[in-house]
Structure 1
Amino acid sequence: MSEDMGRRERKKLATRQALVDAAVELFAEHGFDETTVAQIAERADVSTRTFFLHFPTKEDVLVGSSEERLEIGLRALAERVPGERPDDALARAMRLMIDDRRPGEFGLGRVRQQIARTAPSVQANIMRRRFEAERMLTAGLLRSFPDDLDDVDASAAVAAVMAATHAAATTALRSGAGLDAVRAAMHRAVDIAILGTRRSG
């Protein structure tokens, strides 16, 4: 039974990756707005219905593994280390999310940034998901440190770190930096954001 489930999961992941690859190819060939869901499904050799089983919208093809990465951060916050400060816990969670390596994610991130410059719907989807991630991480931080933080403290800390890492990644990608340099820039951003919250506290 577990072997069958493993096979189904591998097939699901392979189909999802095929859709992402097809979408990226078509976006490069025809542009984001000109590419349809039907074209993506056809290029990946699946039905349009299968596309929507994996992605709610065309914009979501560019999201990658953001949901899985968010789960890593939430688990890290839930596994509070004895004696750990809230800002240290948040920094640890962010670093684990940054260091999560998945095949193709870096290239997809570069493509996502390029398309977002000219496609408002992609930019809006990125912002919506970022705000949702901030909300969930804030809730996770509050659950782990109910006696140390209030809603304002937690939301401000999470928003500061998320904004800093996003800005660092965007700046590094625009300069043509490779994967390791982008990750290093994001780690520096975590340091800057956390040090800033400590100086003001």
Structure 2
Amino acid sequence: MSTTAEGKTRFERRKEATRGRIVHAANTLFLADGYVETSMEDIARAADVAIRTIYLHFDSKAAILLAYFDEWLDDFVDALIARPAAEPIDESVARALDFLVQNGWDGTPFGEMPGPHPTVEFIGTGSPEIAGRIMHGWGRAQDALTAHYAASGEYPAGSFVPRARAAAVFASWVATLLVFRDGFGGAPLDAQATGNSVGEAIIREMNSGRL
């Protein structure tokens, strides 16, 4: 069986490509039609795969949604860790988010969104199982960021700054979701606002000392 330079067989690469196609097709449908309204059959058609193929990769619609979130969070944490550990946290977040958009993650303005992303709906409402899994993911991300900042040598042993930096990242993410939830509920929100621009603005305020 042929193996690539990365050590993966062609079969493994095809399997990953199919899985990615399913995840991103589902996310597009969740945004356009809503999470509840999207069926596994809809996802199969959009991804151009048989319904049985989806179940080879995922046991539920929730698992597909969570896979998208996990991939985004992993890429976000990696982008943050690539930034200098002593860089102001608002700058690190802004650069990391810009990097994600440049590499294909969604940056749709509020005015062009047909509805809230499911992660917006599941924070505070919706399935506790899904919200709980999202919080578990963020718990792991918090630990990874804290360990990175603590090991950087920029802060003295026992400093709370590494944990505070990680906590600020998480807080800005939650606040961004709530701002968009409010926007879809009728609160004023600029049509050109994106998740990234709102997140950057929130963490900039958090780091300004004005709160």
TM category (shorter chain) comes to: 0.5 to 0.7
1:163 aligned to 153, 171, 174, which one? Answer: 171
Match of 1:18 in 2: 22
Aligned length: 185
Instruction: Provide the rounded CA distance (Å) in 1 between the counterparts of 2:202 and 2:65.
Output: 27
Matches within 5 A, 1:11-160: 12-13=16-17, 15-22=19-26, 25=29, 28=33, 31=36, 44-45=49-50, 46-51=53-58, 57-63=63-69, 64-77=71-84, 86=86, 88-99=87-98, 100-101=100-101, 102-104=104-106, 110-116=117-123, 117-148=125-156, 150-160=158-168
Q: Quote how far apart the aligned CAs of 1:189 are.
A: 1.4
Q: Quote how far apart the aligned CAs of 1:71 are.
A: 0.7
Q: Which runs of 5+ in 1 are unaligned?
A: 81-85
Cα displacement string for residues 113-154 of structure 1 (whole angstroms, at most 9, x for unaligned residues): 124421111111121111211111111111113544635232
Q: Quote how far apart the aligned CAs of 1:72 are.
A: 0.8
Give percent identity, aligned residues only. Answer: 13
Cα pair 1:73 1:93 within 8 Å, conserved: yes
Q: Quote how far apart the aligned CAs of 1:62 are.
A: 4.3
The one-letter code of the counterpart of 2:140 is: E
Q: Give the structure-1-normalised TM-score.
A: 0.67
Instruction: Provide the rounded CA distance (Å) in 1 between the counterparts of 2:7 and 2:154.
Output: 42
Q: Give the structure-2-normalised TM-score.
A: 0.64
Instruction: Provide the rounded CA distance (Å) in 1 between the counterparts of 2:68 and 2:182.
Output: 18
Cα pair 1:164 1:189 within 8 Å, conserved: yes
Cα pair 1:41 1:48 within 8 Å, conserved: no
Cα displacement string for residues 81-127 of structure 1 (whole angstroms, at most 9, x for unaligned residues): xxxxx3x3433321222222124475797232124421111111121
The one-letter code of the counterpart of 1:31 is: V
Q: Which runs of 5+ in 2 are unaligned?
A: none
**CA separation of 1:104/1:147 partners in 2, compared to 1, >3 Å: closer, same or farther?**
closer
Root-mean-square deviation (Å): 4.1
State the secondary structure of the residue aligned to 2:117: helix
Match of 2:180 in 1: 172
Higher relative contact order (CA 8 A, sep 6+): 2
Cα pair 2:27 2:65 within 8 Å, conserved: no
Cα pair 1:74 1:140 within 8 Å, conserved: yes
The one-letter code of the counterpart of 1:60 is: L
The one-letter code of the counterpart of 1:94 is: V
Bigger helix fraction? 1
The one-letter code of the counterpart of 1:90 is: I
